[in-house]
């Protein structure tokens, strides 16, 4: 009886959507059909076709509204974005709630996979309630704008943007100034605390309405394994990388101690988080000059090469595109160059955090960045373009399969290309005059480790915090305490100034107010080394993996593209198998890549007492 009433409501709802100027007997006929509705393959196919068409259309509108809100922050763009997002979320939730009608029904693999995607694929689900959906959407738009507009003002007429302060953290050796900026940036987030609490409560209720225990379980349900198995797999990979991270931590702490002295960097314990070259201490490559091997004068850095060659921001993007073209990917459409945001506009507020967009599931691809002419953004451009080429590769898939094999794959594709930005490649494209001698390899690897290895514990803890918030282990009154417990435990870093529950430090990282899950980056940082190893094998490279570049190799490009074209249509393990020949996530590719630097770090650390 309950089920029948629901079906009837669904048909009325559909009727509302398509217009109700039908004849009475048609309505009668539909009512009769509804009362005899069967949940089988045919009805599943019809339902999925309708959901896909409907959501694709609404999604396109939302995407344009979101672009507007991110590239021109004002109350009107937020209003439009919030409304569009509310309508999309409500519709997605309404479809997701119907999935259970086919529970236990034997369906084709594709249909079952689509049903699962429909049910678990909403990042912040609201309950099926206009007011709550509107509130959830408003909170999302508001927090994103708060982050985008965020500034630290030293006094009435001296304010600094995140970009400016990040530059200082990347290059300065003045611990007091860095501490001021570290603390100053975190003044943007206390006003987000209450909003976040409310957002988490509404979305948790939404997840429960969809049959999940909480939003943590829902987020972890998208990996073709059980939510608990996913946590176990992450932990397993972390254990493989941990010795490398601990060795790096030990060496970096010792070197920073030499630079700053015992007062600023104690020789034992946690590293003060403001001295690692990045606002969140998430990657440490910017402090390479302070911690590099003594006998390795890494003879180039890309920031200098960009300046020497006078590359503009646009040139940097074209260089990225040329790499993909060399692999056999079609050039980007002209609209990419017309509609992307490459540099920070002078006259309006925007969200500078880099992102890649697909506005119409066809050709309207764009990136949104505030490019700075430096090495970090050169890599980020390749990261973002990886998203765009992936989006284009799966555009022929049905709507619910238009995504990556799992979200880590999306993040890993551009980074895989970045691993091919070797000295040999830079020489080949004329950026570097001479390839450095093999004696420079250690410096190169150390720099890579400062970026890739340093990231891993951070990549793990951001969502560990959110999972604990969603499942109630971290209560709102302990948000900051819970955050720092994880940062200290996994990263071995400490806040340089006292923190309390008057602060809300998670909100000072884009992905928290920006509602972007983060475990994907943990996966990506591991997967990219698996992809790189496999593609280097395809090109027939023999030698250490850090010297391999796949630039110009169409076979490697075809292999990458074939994997991308699968979209989300098959379990990610199959996509992994197709590209790498192995079905699992496996950090051993990463560990192997860094073996020489691990050996060197162990020698350096031989007389030191490591750990924190
Ligand atoms: O957010 C990003 C990309 C956009 S998907 C720039 N990344 C993470 C971050 O910045 O925190 C890339 C690496 C990790
Ligand atoms: Zn990304």
Q: At what angle do helices 2-18 and 75-98 cross, to 10 degrees?
A: 140
Instruction: Please identify every residue whose CB atom is under 5 Å from ligand 2, which is an ion.
Output: 411
Cα 263 to chain centroid, rounded: 36
C-beta separation of 576 from 583 below 8 A: yes
Indicate the helix (H) or strand (E) that contains 493.
Answer: strand 493-494
Q: At what angle do helices 130-149 and 41-71 cross, to 10 degrees?
A: 40
In ligand 1, which atom is closest to the CA atom of 459? 14
The fraction of the chain above a pLDDT of 90, given in percent, is 91
Q: Which ligand is nearest to the CA of 516?
A: 1
Q: How far apart are CA 102 and CA 543, in angstroms?
A: 53
For the chain, helix, strand, coil in percent to 5 are 65, 5, 30
In ligand 1, which atom is closest to the CA atom of 509? 11
SS3 501: coil
Show the ligand 1 pocket: residues with CB < 6 angstroms. Answer: 282, 354-355, 380, 383, 521
pTM value? Answer: 0.94
Among 277, 407, 411, name the best residue to mutate to test ligand 1's pocket (greatest count of ligand atoms within 8 A of Cβ).
Answer: 411
Q: What is the DSSP letter of 217?
A: H
C-beta separation of 58 from 88 below 8 A: yes
Mapped to the 3 state alphabet, what secondary structure does 520-579 carry?
A: HHHHHHHHHHHHHHHHHHHCCCCCCHHHCCCCCCHHHHHHHHHHHHCCCCCCHHHHHHHH
Enumerate residues 6+ apart whose C-beta is below 8 A from 492.
249, 270, 271, 457, 611, 612
In ligand 1, which atom is closest to the CA atom of 282? 11
pLDDT for residue 19 is more than 50:
no
Cα angle: 406, vertex 527, 568; to 5 degrees: 20
Arithmetic mean of pLDDT, 556-578: 98
As beta bridge partners, residue 151 has: 161
Distance 432 CA to ligand 2 centre (A): 27
Q: What pLDDT, on a 0 to 100 scale, did the predictor assign at position 610?
A: 98
What is the token pair recorded at 524?
Answer: 């990506």
Least confident stretch, 23-27, 191-195, 340-344, 529-533? 23-27
Q: What is the DSSP letter of 489?
A: I
Distance 384 CA to ligand 2 centre (A): 6
Q: What pLDDT, on a 0 to 100 scale, did the predictor assign at position 22?
A: 42
As beta bridge partners, residue 366 has: 357
- For residue range 49-93, list pLDDT tens digits in order: 999 999 999 999 999 999 999 999 999 999 999 999 999 999 999
Closest by alpha carbon to 123, among 232, 224, 216, 229?
A: 216
Q: How far apart are CA 466 and CA 39, in angstroms?
A: 36
Q: How far apart are CA 149 and CA 268, in angstroms?
A: 38
Among 170, 284, 353, name the best residue to mutate to test ligand 1's pocket (greatest count of ligand atoms within 8 A of Cβ).
Answer: 353
pLDDT for residue 17 is more than 70:
no
Q: How far apart are CA 465 and CA 476, in angstroms?
A: 12
- For residue range 195-206, list pLDDT tens digits in order: 999 999 999 999
Q: What is the DSSP letter of 355?
A: E
SS3 366: strand
Arithmetic mean of pLDDT, 7-23: 33
pLDDT band with cut points at 50, 70 and 90 for residue 32: low
Q: How far apart are CA 513 and CA 494, in angstroms?
A: 22
Mean pLDDT of the chain: 94
Question: Which residue lies with its CA nearest to atom 2 of ligand 1?
Answer: 354
Arithmetic mean of pLDDT, 458-482: 98
Enumerate residues 6+ apart whose C-beta is below 8 A from 448.
285, 546, 593, 594, 597
pLDDT for residue 581 is more than 70:
yes
Q: How far apart are CA 191 and CA 193, in angstroms?
A: 6
pLDDT for residue 2 is more than 60:
no
pLDDT for residue 606 is more than 70:
yes
The fraction of the chain above a pLDDT of 70, given in percent, is 94
Distance 547 CA to ligand 2 centre (A): 24
C-beta separation of 43 from 37 below 8 A: yes
Q: What pLDDT, on a 0 to 100 scale, did the predictor assign at position 344?
A: 97
Question: Which residue lies with its CA nearest to atom 6 of ligand 1?
Answer: 354
Question: Which residue lies with its CA nearest to atom 13 of ligand 1?
Answer: 521
Distance 383 CA to ligand 1 centre (A): 9
- For residue range 336-364, list pLDDT tens digits in order: 999 999 999 999 999 999 999 999 988 99
pLDDT for residue 172 is more than 60:
yes
For residue 295, CA distances in Å to 292, 299, 479 come to 8, 12, 44
Distance 413 CA to ligand 2 centre (A): 9
Question: Which residue lies with its CA nearest to atom 5 of ligand 1?
Answer: 355
Among 352, 354, 417, name the best residue to mutate to test ligand 1's pocket (greatest count of ligand atoms within 8 A of Cβ).
Answer: 354
Q: How far apart are CA 182 and CA 487, in angstroms?
A: 15
Backbone φ and ψ of 156, nearest 5° = -60, -35
Question: Which residue lies with its CA nearest to atom 1 of ligand 1?
Answer: 354
pLDDT band with cut points at 50, 70 and 90 for residue 6: very low
- For residue range 364-408, list pLDDT tens digits in order: 999 999 999 999 999 999 999 999 999 999 999 999 999 999 999
What is the token pair recorded at 494?
Answer: 């400490």
- For residue range 400-437, list pLDDT tens digits in order: 999 999 999 999 999 999 999 999 999 999 999 999 98
Q: Which of the residues are catalytic?
A: 353-354, 383-384, 387, 411, 511, 521
Q: What pLDDT, on a 0 to 100 scale, did the predictor assign at position 50?
A: 98
- For residue range 236-254, list pLDDT tens digits in order: 999 999 999 999 999 999 9
pLDDT for residue 35 is more than 80:
no
In ligand 1, which atom is closest to the CA atom of 411? 5
Q: How far apart are CA 115 and CA 103, in angstroms?
A: 9
C-beta separation of 517 from 463 below 8 A: yes
Q: What is the DSSP letter of 606?
A: T
Q: How far apart are CA 426 and CA 305, in angstroms?
A: 10
Enumerate residues 6+ apart whose C-beta is below 8 A from 42.
none
In ligand 1, which atom is closest to the CA atom of 355? 4
What is the token pair recorded at 352?
Answer: 């500078």
Arithmetic mean of pLDDT, 162-180: 98
291 backbone φψ class: left, alpha, beta (φ>0; ψ -120 to 50): alpha
SS3 281: coil
State the virtual CA torsion across 507, 123, 126, 483 in degrees, nearest 10. Answer: -30
Distance 126 CA to ligand 1 centre (A): 26
Distance 427 CA to ligand 1 centre (A): 27
- For residue range 275-324, list pLDDT tens digits in order: 999 999 999 999 999 999 988 776 789 999 999 999 999 999 999 999 99
Q: What pLDDT, on a 0 to 100 scale, did the predictor assign at position 438?
A: 87
Among 283, 383, 452, name the best residue to mutate to test ligand 1's pocket (greatest count of ligand atoms within 8 A of Cβ).
Answer: 383
What is the token pair recorded at 301?
Answer: 């850095």
């Amino acid at each position: 009886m309950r089920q029948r009433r629901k079906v009837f409501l669904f048909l009325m709802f559909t009727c509302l959507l398509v217009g109700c100027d039908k004849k009475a007997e048609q309505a009668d006929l539909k009512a009769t059909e509804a009362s005899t509705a069967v949940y089988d393959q045919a009805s599943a196919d019809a339902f999925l076709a309708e959901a896909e068409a409907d959501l694709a259309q609404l999604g396109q509108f939302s995407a344009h509204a979101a672009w507007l809100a991110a590239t021109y922050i004002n109350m009107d763009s937020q209003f439009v974005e919030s409304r569009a997002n509310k309508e999309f979320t409500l519709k997605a939730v309404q479809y997701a709630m119907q999935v259970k009608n086919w529970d236990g029904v034997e369906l084709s693999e594709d249909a079952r996979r689509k049903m699962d995607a429909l049910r678990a694929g909403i990042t912040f689900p609201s309950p099926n309630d206009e007011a709550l959906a509107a509130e959830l959407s408003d909170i999302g738009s508001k927090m994103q704008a708060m982050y985008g507009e965020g500034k630290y003002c030293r006094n009435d007429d001296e304010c600094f943007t995140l970009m400016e302060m990040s530059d200082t953290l990347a290059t300065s050796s003045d611990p007091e100034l860095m501490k001021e900026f570290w603390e100053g940036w975190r003044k943007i987030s206390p006003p987000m605390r209450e909003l976040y609490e409310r957002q988490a409560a509404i979305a948790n209720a939404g997840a429960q309405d969809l049959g999940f225990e909480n939003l943590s379980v829902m987020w972890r349900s998208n990996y073709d394994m059980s939510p608990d198995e996913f946590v176990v797999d992450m932990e397993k990979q972390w254990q493989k990388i941990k010795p490398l991270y601990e060795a790096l931590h030990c060496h970096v702490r010792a070197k920073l101690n030499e630079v700053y002295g015992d007062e600023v960097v104690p020789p034992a314990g946690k590293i003060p988080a403001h001295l690692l070259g990045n606002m969140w201490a998430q990657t440490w490559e910017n402090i390479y000059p302070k911690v590099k091997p003594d006998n390795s004068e890494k003879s180039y850095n890309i920031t200098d090469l960009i300046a020497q060659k006078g590359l503009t921001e646009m040139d940097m993007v074209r260089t990225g595109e040329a790499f993909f073209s060399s692999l056999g990917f079609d050039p980007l459409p002209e609209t990419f160059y017309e509609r992307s945001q490459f540099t920070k506009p002078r006259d309006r507020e925007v969200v500078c955090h880099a992102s890649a967009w697909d506005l119409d599931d066809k050709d309207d691809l764009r990136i949104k960045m505030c490019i700075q002419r430096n090495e970090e953004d050169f890599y980020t451009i390749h990261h973002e373009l990886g998203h765009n080429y992936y989006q284009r590769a799966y555009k022929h898939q049905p709507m619910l399969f238009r995504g990556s094999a799992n979200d880590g794959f999306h993040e890993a594709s551009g980074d895989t290309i970045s691993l091919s930005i070797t000295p040999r490649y830079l020489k080949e494209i004329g950026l570097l005059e001479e390839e450095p001698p093999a004696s420079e390899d250690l410096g190169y690897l150390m720099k890579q480790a400062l970026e890739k290895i340093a990231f891993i514990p951070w990549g793990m803890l951001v969502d560990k915090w959110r999972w604990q918030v969603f499942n109630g282990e971290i209560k709102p009154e302990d948000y900051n305490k819970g955050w720092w417990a994880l940062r200290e435990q996994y990263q071995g870093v400490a806040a340089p100034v006292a923190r309390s529950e008057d602060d809300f430090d998670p909100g000072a990282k884009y992905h928290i107010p920006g509602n972007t899950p983060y475990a994907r980056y943990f996966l990506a940082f591991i997967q990219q080394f698996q992809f790189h190893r496999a593609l280097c094998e395809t090109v027939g490279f023999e030698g250490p993996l850090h010297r391999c570049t796949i630039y110009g190799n169409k076979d490697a490009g075809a292999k990458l593209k074939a994997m991308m074209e699968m979209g989300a249509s098959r379990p990610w393990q199959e996509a992994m198998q197709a590209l790498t020949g192995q079905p699992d996530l496996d950090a051993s590719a990463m560990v192997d890549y860094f073996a020489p630097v691990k050996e060197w770090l162990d020698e350096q650390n031989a007389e030191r007492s490591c750990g924190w």
